[in-house]
Amino acid sequence: MTVNATPTPGAVPLATEGYKPPKATHKARVLPGFGLSLGITLTYLSLIVVLPLAALLARPWEHGLDGVWQTISDPRVLASLRLTFTTSLLAALVNLFAGLIVAWVLTRYEFPGKGLVDALVDLPFALPTAVAGVSLCSMYAANGWVGSLFAPLGLRIAYTPLGIFVALVFVGLPFIVRSVQPVLAEFDAEVEEAAATLGATPLQTTLRVIVPSLAPALLTGFSLAFARAVGEYGSVIFIAGNMPFVSEITPLLIVIKLEEFDYAGAAAIAVAMLSLAFLSLLLVNALQLLLSRRGRA
Amino acid sequence: MRARAPERPKTPAAFLLMALAAVWMALVIVLPLVNVLAEAFKQGVQPYLSAIVQPDALSAIRLTLTVAAIAVPLNAVFGIAAAWCVTRFDFAGKGLLLSVLDLPFTISPVISGMVWVLLFGAHGWFASVLEASNIKIIYALPGLVIATVLVTLPFVARELIPLMQDQGTDEEIAAVTLGASGWDVFFRVTLPNIKWALTYGVLLCTARAMGEFGAVSVVSGHIRGLTNTLPLHIEVLYNEYDSVGAFGAATLLAGLALVTLVLKTLLEWRFGDELAANRRH
C-alpha cells in the first residue's frame, strides 16, 4: 500500500532505513521469540483488523451489483458524498495556509509562552471529538460566542455546511503543523543565506526558496488532514444539523443505514467512501512523487 | 548542514505572522476549550457538581474506565509483540503487515464500529451462533471493548517500531551470547530501553480509548446507565438540551485531554532522546 495516511503527528513511514535486521534463517536467528511474537501479531491483526474488514468488503454484494449501484446512486447518498468531500477539501486547504503560518512562527521565532502554544497545537488530537463537537456547536450557534457576532449579518454557521467546515478546520490543524514543523526546523540556513547573497529579498527567499522545499511536507499534512476530515464523525454531527441533502455527512448516513438494519446498504456506502478517499490519496501521492522528481532534477 | 536558530521577531512581517498565528490559535483551538468551562459553570458551581455526580454520569465514568482498562493492555502487549517481530527479524510480507497495522488510523471511526455490527449484530455473520449460545456483543460491553481495541490498535506499536529499529540489536545479542534467556533479555535489556516510548504510546492509546466516540457510538445502543461511555453520555444529554449536564461531563474529558497533553509534553522534554525516533523526523 502506498497511501500514507495516519493521524500521528510527525508520522514517519515504517519502512526501514539504516539498521537491517538479520534474515530469519536458522543460522542467523540469534534472538529468540520470533515464533511467539509473530504468532501473537498475526493472530491479533487477523481477528481485529482483517476479519472485520473482510466482512465490510463482502457485505455490499448481497443484492448484487445492481443493489450496490442503487444504494450509491441514491441522490441523498451522492449529496452526502459531495458535501463530505468538498468540506474536507476546503478545510484542508485553509489549514494548509494557517498550519504553515503557525509552524513558521513556532520554528522561526523566539517568544514567551512558545512551549505552551506548541503543546496546544496537539489539542485537537487529544480532545475527545464529542467534546469538541458540543463545544463548537454551542460557540457557533446563533446565541453562542462566535455565532452571535455573525447572526446580525444574517450568516448562520451552526447547522449549515459552514459549521461542518469549521469543525473540520479544528480537527485538521495539527496535521499540517506537525508535518511542516520538523522540515522547517532542519532547513539549511546556508541555502537562505545564498539566496540573500544573490540579492533575493526576504519575501522572495521565503516564497521562492523555502516554501517550495516544504511542498512535500505540506502535501503530506494536507492528505492526512483531508483523510481524517472525510471520516470525521464526533466533532461534526453536533454542529452539522444533519439535514438530508444539505448538511448530512456520509459517516452519519452509514450510521442511519445501520440503525435501519440495512447492513448491505451501510457497507456499500462505506466501501464507496473508502474507495473515494483512497483514490484522492493516491492522487496526492502521485503529485508528491512528481514534486520530488522535479526537486531532484 | 546547519539549521537556523529561532530568533526574536524584529521585522513588521514577523510581527504580522505572529499576530495571525496567535489569532488563529486563539479562535480555533483555545476558544472551544474555554467555552466548555464557561458552559459547564453557566449556572454556578452547584449545578455543575450535581451534574457530574448523577448516577448516569458515574456509571458512564465507570464504563469508560473499564473499557480502557481492557483495551489498552491488550494493545500494549500486541504493540510490543509486533515491534519485536518487525524490528528483530526479517520475513516475507513484512511490508504488508505494517500496512495492515496502520489501517485503523486510515478508516473512519464509524467504519471501525460498523464492522463489528456486520460480524456480531442482529443480521451479522455470527448472529445465529451468538444467539444460540446467548452471548451479547453488540449493545454490550464486549462490543465497546473490541471497537475501542480496533480504533486504538496502532498507537503503541507505532511508537515502538521506529525506536527499536533505531536502537538495533547489539545489546540484546550480547546478552544472549552471555547466556541470558529470552525473557531475561526482554525484561532486563529491551524493556529498560523502550520504557519511555512504551509509556508514551500507552498514554496516547489511553487518551484515545477514553475519548473515542464514533466507533463506540455505533456498537453501544446508547442504553443509559449500561452502555453509555462518557463521550456517549455527553451526546445523550446534549440532545436532551441538558447543557450543564453535557458540558459538565465534557469538562472531565477536557481535563483528561489537558493532563494527556501535559504528560506528553513532559515526556518529550525529559526523555526526548529515548523517544528519538518519533520526534526527530
Alpha-carbon gap, residue A199 to A15, rounded angstroms: 41
- Below-50 pLDDT ranges, chain A: 1-16, 25-27, 297
B105–A134 C-beta distance less than 8 A: no
ipTM given for this complex: 0.92
How many domains is chain A partitioned into structurally?
A: 1
Which residues of A fall within a CB distance of 8 Å from B102?
6, 14
**Torsion angle in degrees (nearest 10) through CA of A226, A228, A233, A234:** -120
- Three-state SS sequence of chain B: CCECCCECCCCHHHHHHHHHHHHHHHHHHHHHHHHHHHHHCCCCHHHHHHHHCCHHHHHHHHHHHHHHHHHHHHHHHHHHHHHHHHHHCECCCHHHHHHHHHHHHHCCHHHHHHHHHHHHCCCCCCHHHHHHCCCCCCCCHHHHHHHHHHHHCHHHHHHHHHHHHHHCCHHHHHHHHCCCCHHHHHHHHHHHHHHHHHHHHHHHHHHHHHHCCHHHHHHHCCCCCCCCCHHHHHHHHHHCCCHHHHHHHHHHHHHHHHHHHHHHHHHHHHCHHHHHHHHCC
> Residue written as cell 469538541?
A132
Binding-face residues of B in 160-179 toward A, CB within 8 A: 161-162, 165-166, 168-169, 172-173, 176-177
Average pLDDT, chain A: 89
Beta-bridged to residue B7, according to DSSP, are: A109
Cell numbers describing residue B166: 533505531
Does residue B26 carry a pLDDT above 50?
A: yes
Q: Is the pLDDT of residue B155 over 70?
A: yes
Task: Report the pLDDT value the prediction gives residue B279, as an integer from 0 to 100.
Answer: 46
| Interface check B185 vs A, CB under 8 A | yes
Task: Give the tens place of pLDDT for each residue, B161-198.
Answer: 999 999 989 999 999 999 999 999 999 999 999 999 99
Expressed as residue numbers, the domain containing A174 is 63-296
Residue A47 lies inside a defined structural domain of this protein: no
* pLDDT score for B73: 98
Q: Which of A247, A252, A215, A246 minimizes the C-alpha distance to A234?
A: A252
| CB-CB neighbours of A47 under 10 Å | 13
Alpha carbon distance B199, B206 (integer Å): 10
Q: How far is A204 from chain B (nearest CA, A)?
A: 13
| A57, part of any domain | no
First CA to last CA distance, chain A: 26
Which of chain A's residues have a Cβ under 8 Å away from the Cβ of B114?
Answer: 56, 254-255, 258, 266-267, 270
Chain A touched by B271 (CB under 8 Å): no
Using CA atoms, how far apart are residues A51 and A60, in angstroms rounded to an integer? 15
User: Strand pairing partners for B90?
Assistant: A23
Q: Give the nearest partner residue to B150 out of A10, A49, A135, using CB atoms.
A: A49
Cβ-based neighbour number of residue A110 at 10 Å: 10
Contacts of A48 in chain B (CB under 8 A): 146, 149-150, 153
Confidence at residue A115, expressed as pLDDT on a 0 to 100 scale? 92
**Are A108 and B7 a contacting pair at CB < 8 A?**
yes
CB contact under 8 A, B29 and A111: no
Across the interface, whether the CB atoms of B123 and A274 are under 8 A apart is answered no
Report residue A130 as a C-alpha cell.
464529542
Residue among A101, A134, A210, A242 with most chain B CBs within 10 A, to mutate: A134
CATH number at residue A285: 1.10.3720.10
Rounded to whole angstroms, how far apart are CA atoms A5 and A141? Answer: 33
Which of B221, B234, B262, B267 is closest to B116 using CA atoms? B221
Q: Give a yes or no: residue A251 inside a domain.
A: yes
Cβ of A98 within 8 Å of Cβ of B166? The answer is: no
CA atoms of A210 and A215, how far apart (whole Å): 9
Is residue A44 situated within a structural domain? no
Rounded to an integer, what distance in angstroms lies between the CA atom of residue A283 and that of residue B129?
43
β-bridge mates for residue A23, sequence order: B90
Are A117 and A106 in contact by the 8 Å Cβ rule? The answer is yes
How far separated are the first and last CA of chain B, in Å rounded?
Answer: 16
Which alpha helices (H) appear in chain A, and where do they start and end?
34-45, 51-58, 64-72, 75-108, 114-120, 123-126, 129-140, 147-150, 161-185, 189-197, 202-204, 211-231, 234-240, 250-259, 263-296
Q: What is the largest CA-CA distance in chain A?
A: 77
All residues of chain A having their beta carbon less than 8 Å from the beta carbon of residue B91 are: 24, 34, 38
Across A256-273, b (16+ Cβ under 10 Å) vs e yields bbbeeeebbbbbbbbbbb
Q: Picking from A160-164, A209-213, B67-71, B249-253, which range would have the lowest pLDDT averaged per residue?
A: A209-213
All residues of chain B having their beta carbon less than 8 Å from the beta carbon of residue A110 are 6-8
- Look at residue A145 and give its three-state secondary structure: coil
Residue A203 maps to a domain: yes
Give the pLDDT confidence score for residue B280 in this predicted structure: 39
Residue A4: inside a domain: no
Question: Roughly what angle, to the nearest 10 degrees, separates helices A75-108 and A263-296?
Answer: 40
